[in-house]
């Protein structure tokens, strides 16, 4: 695939990309802007690519799969954990136009990479933090997206999920859809995925 449009058409063709607002975000946010210079020629391949520091920009299929589960709304307040290159951050920011995206990344050099990538777009609804915890001033989120694999479901994140909220998180080799309703958590497992480890 040689263009972002071809990549989006491929994801629609595979049946993973379905929601109009998410499709629009994938069309608006060009993956080539979030890969390292020496991988630009592979930017539209449907596979992960290294971004340094043993981290990757996730496979587009996986990103689409997770965002379709997450179903962010135009006014959602979203926590993006392990934002890496900020590809998912930009996609989320494109969807939640009246909301906000709070992105966190533990590796300082990737925070700088992330911020420089976001400057290519005119988002006014994104905050990026070099942090391994929820930034001060934020308590609850409508949506939480985690882009690295946890060993178990972190209480700090389930506690930060609003009632009626949705979290999508990899745990070991599965993606989990977590919903909070009336203070209780409900989960659905989708096995067969690989992620870098959540630190």
What is the per-residue pLDDT for 173?
86
User: Could you read off the pLDDT of 63-117 as tens digits, one per residue?
Assistant: 999 999 999 999 999 999 999 999 999 999 999 999 999 999 999 999 999 999 9
CATH architecture of 4-191: 3-Layer(aba) Sandwich (3.40)
What is the per-residue pLDDT for 170?
93
Q: Has residue 194 got a pLDDT over 80?
A: no
The per-residue pLDDT of the chain, averaged, comes to 94
What is the per-residue pLDDT for 72?
98
What is the per-residue pLDDT for 196?
59
Q: Has residue 199 got a pLDDT over 80?
A: no
- The answer to whether the predicted template modeling score (pTM) of the entire model surpasses 0.85 is yes
Domain ranges of the chain: 4-191
What is the per-residue pLDDT for 132?
85
- State the catalytic residues: 58
Q: What percent of the chain has pLDDT over 70?
A: 97
What is the per-residue pLDDT for 24?
98
User: Could you read off the pLDDT of 112-162 as tens digits, one per residue?
Assistant: 999 999 999 999 999 999 998 898 889 899 999 998 888 889 999 999 999
Residues 36, 103, 23, CA angle at the centre, nearest 5°?
Answer: 70
What is the per-residue pLDDT for 101?
98
């Amino acid at each position: 695939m040689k263009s972002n449009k071809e990549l989006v058409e491929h994801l629609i063709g595979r049946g993973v990309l379905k929601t109009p607002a998410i499709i629009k975000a994938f069309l608006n946010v060009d993956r080539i802007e979030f890969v390292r210079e020496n991988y630009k020629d592979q930017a539209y391949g449907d596979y992960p690519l290294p971004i340094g520091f043993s981290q990757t920009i996730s496979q587009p299929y996986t990103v689409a799969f997770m965002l379709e589960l997450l179903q962010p709304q135009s006014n959602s307040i979203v926590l993006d954990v392990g934002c890496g290159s900020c590809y998912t951050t930009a996609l989320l920011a494109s969807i939640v136009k009246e909301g906000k995206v709070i992105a966190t990344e533990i590796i300082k050099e990737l925070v700088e990479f992330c911020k420089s990538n976001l400057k290519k777009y005119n988002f006014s609804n994104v905050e990026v933090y070099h942090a391994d915890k929820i930034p001060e001033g934020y308590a609850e989120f409508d949506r939480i997206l985690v882009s690295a694999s946890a060993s178990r479901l972190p209480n700090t994140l389930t506690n930060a999920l609003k009632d009626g909220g949705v979290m999508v998180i990899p745990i070991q080799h599965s993606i989990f859809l977590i919903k909070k309703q009336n203070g209780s958590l409900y989960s659905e497992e989708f096995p067969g995925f690989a992620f870098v480890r959540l630190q």
